[in-house]
Amino acid sequence: MAYVPDVCYTDAKFELVSEKGQIKHAALTLYGYYCKCRNRNSGFAFPKGKTIVNDTGIPKSNVSMLRDFLEECGWIEVYPTGVIRPLKGFISDKEILKMRLKRLLTSLPFVLIIRTLVLKNRTFVLIIRTLFKGNLNQPFKPAHLTSYSAEPADAIPAEKHFEIDFSKIGVSPERAETTPKKINPKNGLSPDCAETKPDNRREHPAVKMVREISGRFPHKDQWDQLIKEIGKNPDIEFFRSCWTIWRSFDGKPTNLQGWVFIPNKTGKLPQVFSENPVQLTGKPPEKDWQNAGRYEEPGEIDRNEALEFLLELQAEGEDLSPYQKFYPEEDWTWLIQELNKQTAAN
């Protein structure tokens, strides 16, 4: 990483430039990816979170944070619909020669993304070098950012500056005079597109019930079935019991067929084991949970695995008391003591 000279970074917006003067690689990677995804005519990008993670390697939890950094620093515009508009363009090799900035390059040809960064009332020029010729309409990877640096703008003679009309981003220099298609500034879409409205199904009692019990929203594809089968007045206590039993047998929380849809049709709690149940160490092996007896003798279970299982349930905020009947008194006492120790340690 290159350092920006003679400047204090305490005023840098959202640490896009870090305390030591290093320009954050992840932020530049995400910005370059937005540029790569943009429509050549409109200048707008329609990136998807999963695609960003797969293509750039940036963790999903960091994408929204870095996007906010870029927006606050004026690198991109973010519309309510999630549409992104990169606000800076590309400098072609021909324009690089016009700017006479060859001393800033290690080799040619490169595509440069030129940005200005204002810190302490002093303007710096940020030069980002990539391995691409022409534009970033090729698959973009972090390794393609070879180097980047920032130099005080006043250190570059005025005659070497080249102003870019950022209002026409999205078209190549050869087509800069072409008027892009008008975009609705409210949602970043064409005027012909209908206004997007919030999905009211999200607030339906059946959908909210699943969220309340499981801690996560069901997939959108399941909302209609939930609304149709569960109705406006779900029996929350019944489904909470279904959830407890389902999870106690290691059922997947997203499998609504296991603990919501089928129990709702039959009015019975879920039968979670097939005819050939998988033996789960530390968990009840019986097929029918209603007739499930507890372990008869101490030492029949692996205490460590049982403790790990109960810790997971405790982390999810579940009540552990229903599980007491599955363990001998001596084992249950030991498990509770260990749980209390680990809780106190944390």
- pLDDT for position 95: 41
Rounded Cα gap, residues 248 and 255, in angstroms? 14
Largest CA distance in the chain: 89
Q: Tell me which of 86-90, 155-159, 191-195, 299-303 is least confident.
A: 155-159
Residue 305 has what DSSP assignment? H
pLDDT at 213: 82
Helix (H) or strand (E) holding 130: strand 122-130
Q: Which residues on adjacent β-strands are paired with residue 113?
A: 128
Element (H, E) at 125: strand 122-130
Specify the pairing of strand 76-78 against strand 84-86: antiparallel
pLDDT at residue 235 above 50?
yes
The per-residue pLDDT for range 59-78, each reduced to its tens digit, is: 777 888 888 877 776 677 88
